[in-house]
Amino acid sequence: MEMKDLLMELSLRAKAKIEEAEGPDKLNEARIAFLGKKGELTSILKGMKNVKPEDRPEVGQLVNDTREKIEKWLDESRTAFEAKIREEKLKSEVIDVTLPARKARFGHRHPNSIALDEVERIFIGMGYEVVEGPEVEYADYNFTKLNIPEDHPARDEQDTFFITDEILLRSQTSPVQARKMEEGVLPIRMIAPGRVFRSDEVDATHSPSFHQIEGLVIDRNITFADLKGTLEEFAKELFGPETKTKFRPHHFPFTEPSAEVDVSCFKCGGKGCRFCKGSGWIEILGCGTVHPNVLRMCGIDPEEYTGFAFGVGLERIALLKYEIDDMRLLYENDIRFLKQF
């Protein structure tokens, strides 16, 4: 077959192949098959040596014409495919302005935040201020100034996250109280909410990171009766006006005397149910009169001033108030749980 015939036959096959292409990928395959370095047109060019010298200019022109035709068909098909893609994209992006708008989904507060806001509202209404302090604390503030000596079990590394011998992640928010007392501005009426850290295993009621709210009052002639009246009012505001409180003797190194406080079960009214495990009472916090040693180490004369302190777990309030039976639910960020609040 002469060179002219080969080029004509190649041109016809290339046109048919390009017209059959179903997309840009197939079109590229056709380009490589006919115009690539190992394509059919390149193979034909290798046969130019067999063409008579007087015919080479004409054949060369035919080769160039064939290449130009194939490139033109490729460009036309590519343009058609791009136009089709743009058209499909525009169709997919068409907005029907007559349709109703999509309902916006808004976030909301975490149950811990809701509980904290309520506690702060109650105590601010009693004249307390909200004070914050560092989460990375000195052992002197976390323990020593709170009447917890170096040989006390609370300093054990099993309970506390030590960074160095003297620096740790606070295990309670009581250091904020010590820092406030050291300022020497009296009287003091404050609560200290914040995150604390203890080396606890994660389960339904424990976590290595949780939140506490501790309160402190320092003034002249403060008695345990003031503490009882304050916590009774707090319990009624938080759990309902029918709530009763019960104080049980206990021991804390930074208060003397000390007590744990129970509230009557707001689920059954004190009759006994599954929620209060049949006792009619639910433990909520620890409290007591500030130990004279604590006042003395923080620069306050215990002969002139007295005070009381209390501490409650924020998660415990949230669990009780919203009847949640597993603390881990508060931290798993499960939208099915959180959207209930």
- pLDDT tens for residues 7-61? 777 777 777 777 777 777 777 777 777 777 777 766 766 666 666 666 667 767 7
Report which DSSP code applies to 269: T
The count of other CB atoms within 10 Å of the CB of residue 88 is 10
| Residue (of 276, 272, 224) closest to 250 by Cα position | 224
Q: Please enumerate, as own/partner, the contacts of 332-336 that have beta carbons within 8 Å and a separation of 24 or more.
A: none
Helix (H, G, I), strand (E, B) or coil at 155: helix
Tokens 């100034």 map to which residue?
Answer: 145
Report which DSSP code applies to 106: -
pLDDT digits (tens, 9 = 90+) for 113-154: 899 999 999 999 999 999 999 999 999 999 989 998 887 776
Q: Is the dihedral of CA 65, 66, 71, 74 positive or negative?
A: positive
The count of other CB atoms within 10 Å of the CB of residue 203 is 10
CATH fold for the domain made of 111-338: BirA Bifunctional Protein; domain 2 (3.30.930)
Return d(Cα 155, Cα 129) in angstroms, integer.
Answer: 29
Return d(Cα 147, Cα 251) in angstroms, integer.
Answer: 12
Question: Which segments within 126-208 are labelled E, that is strand?
Answer: 129-130, 136-138, 161-162, 167-169, 188-197
61: burial class by Cβ within 10 Å (0-12, 13-18, 19+)?
Answer: exposed
pLDDT at residue 158 in the model: 63
Report which DSSP code applies to 95: -
pLDDT at residue 288 in the model: 94
Chunked into runs of 10 residues, the chain (341 residues) has average pLDDT values of 69 76 76 73 66 67 75 80 82 81 80 91 94 93 88 74 90 92 92 90 82 94 94 90 90 92 79 75 91 93 94 88 83 83 79
**In the chain, where the domains are located:** 3-92, 111-338
| Residue (of 189, 284, 271) closest to 245 by Cα position | 284
To 10 degrees, the CA torsion angle through 160, 163, 164, 165?
A: -10
Return d(Cα 265, Cα 277) in angstroms, integer.
Answer: 10
